[in-house]
Amino acid sequence: MTFRYALMVLLLAVSGLGGALSFAQAPDADSHKKKAALLAGSGMLNQAVSEYTLALEIDPQDAEARYYRALAYISKEFFTEAIEDLNEVLKQKTTDAGAYYYRGVAYTQTGQIDLALKDFNAALKLDLKHAKALKARGDIYLNQDRPDRALQDYGAALRTDPEDLNLYAQRAELYIADERYREAVGDYTEILKRRPDSIAALYKRGDLYMVNLKEKSKGCADYKKACELGKCANYKNAVLTGDCS
């Protein structure tokens, strides 16, 4: 067998073995991204950022790696770095509602409220049912003393995500401040449909029935239920005052 023929056989063998005899290859960008996702899911944010950075060194135009590095930065409260990454993402993906939303979050955290509001509006223009953007914009309106606009956004957010119990409670407090007690009762009722053991919601609804709506039997029922769950102060006081039996 000639040397040339032997070399050809060796090359064919290596090819047929699927590269079994080839040298080990350096990790590609996807490998770094997969590792980063696992690290981020385990709360190891510093290491996740490092892996996303390695992916971007291999492919600086990888918008996905840059997007998820920005989210890791937000979790680490590195908001300026997150904004820089999301700026680059939005140069490539101008219709990414999520990128606008998260940049708005970062702007909010750095006190750039006008820019945050602009980004939440952009996210909602692309996705009218983006519940997180609706809530975030509602929070801005609330802080700007525009409760009617906040209530509109909270309502739209809850129609999209009716399982957000914290938002029901937040909206209920707005209703109470506006003396819209029946609507506040409705929000606490929605919470209790999903969390019948919520003592806080039972107390809040009980107070509304007892004090604001003068429906003492319903208030007593809520206080009694809260007592059965381990918190009896309101029920005992109502019994002492004769409001409950």
Q: Say what the pLDDT of residue 71 is.
A: 95
Q: Which of 67, 59, 138 is nearest to 97 (CA)?
A: 67
CA distance linking residue 193 with residue 204, whole number of Å: 15
Instruction: Report all structural domains of the chain as residue ranges with CATH numbers, in order of start.
Output: 163-244 (1.25.40.10)
User: Is 16 or 138 the better-scoring residue by pLDDT?
Assistant: 138
Instruction: Report CA-CA distances (Å) from 95 to 101, 122, 124, 127, 160.
Output: 11, 9, 11, 10, 20
Q: Which of 121, 75, 82 is nearest to 101 (CA)?
A: 121
Q: Say what the pLDDT of residue 40 is.
A: 87
CA distance linking residue 162 with residue 165, whole number of Å: 8
187-204 b/e with 16+ CB inside 10 Å = b? bbebbbeeeeebbebbbb
How is residue 158 written in tokens? 């809850």
Which residue, chain included where needed, has tokens 């770095």?
81
Which residue, chain included where needed, has tokens 């770094």?
32
User: Is 12 or 187 the better-scoring residue by pLDDT?
Assistant: 187
Asked if pLDDT for residue 19 goes beyond 90, the answer is no
Confidence of residue 29 (pLDDT cuts 50, 70, 90): confident
Q: Say what the pLDDT of residue 36 is.
A: 87
User: Is 33 or 16 the better-scoring residue by pLDDT?
Assistant: 33
This prediction's pTM:
0.83
